[in-house]
Amino acid sequence: MPTETGGIEPSSNEPHQLAPRRRLRDKQLRERRVHPRYNDDEFALVQNAAALSRMALGGYVAECSLAAARSDDPTAAVADYRAMIKALMASNGQLGQIGNNLNQLTWHLHKDGAWPHPDTVQRLLDRVEASVAELDTAIAQVTEGR
C-alpha cells in the first residue's frame, strides 16, 4: 500500500519475505557451507561448549574452525589430539618391542639354562604389565573423551 510520503507499506495480506541475515563486518553473504557430522557424544560436547560460550551452535563451530584456520599453525588446533594418538601408537609399538625382547630373553634362558633370580623376573614382568595397564587406561581415556 502506498503511504503519504510515496513509500510502500507492506500489506498484511502479502507474505513478508525477510532479507538474508548478513554479519555486519561482511560485505557479502557467505555462500560456502560445510556440514560436519558428529556422533551423539561429540554433538553433546559441541552443544555444551557452544552454550558455555553463549553462542549459537553453528556460529560456535564456524568460529572454532576459523580460529584454527587463521592461526599461525593451523595444525596446532588439532595437534594435541593427533600428538596424543601418535604418542599412544608409539608407546604401543614400544610395548610390542618389549614383548619381543622378553621372548628372545626366554629363548636364551632356555638355551643357556642360566635363569636370573625369580624375584628379578617377577619385578620385570610386573613392570611390563603395569605399563600395558597404563597404556590401556590412556587409550580408553582418549577414545572415550574424544
Instruction: For the chain of 146 residues, list the mean pLDDT of each consecutive stretch of 10.
Output: 54 55 64 89 90 89 84 73 81 88 86 83 90 87 68
pLDDT at res. 44? 92
pLDDT the model gives residue 43: 93
In this prediction the pTM is 0.47
DSSP string, the chain: -B-TTS-BPPPSSSPP-PPPP--TT-SS-----------HHHHHHHHHHHHHTT--HHHHHHHHHHHHHHSSSTTHHHHHHHHHHHHHHHHHHHHHHHHHHHHHHHHHHHHH--PPPHHHHHHHHHHHHHHHHHHHHHHHHHHHH-
User: Is the Cα dihedral 86, 87, 92, 97 positive or negative?
Assistant: positive
pLDDT of residue 77: 62
CATH level 2 (architecture), domain 78-145:
Up-down Bundle (1.20)
**77: Cβ contacts below 8 Å, ≥ 6 apart:** 64, 67, 68, 71
> Which of 120, 116, 106, 34 is closest to 69 using CA atoms?
34
pLDDT value of position 7: 53
pLDDT of the residue at 127: 92
The grid coordinates of residue 15 equal 507474505
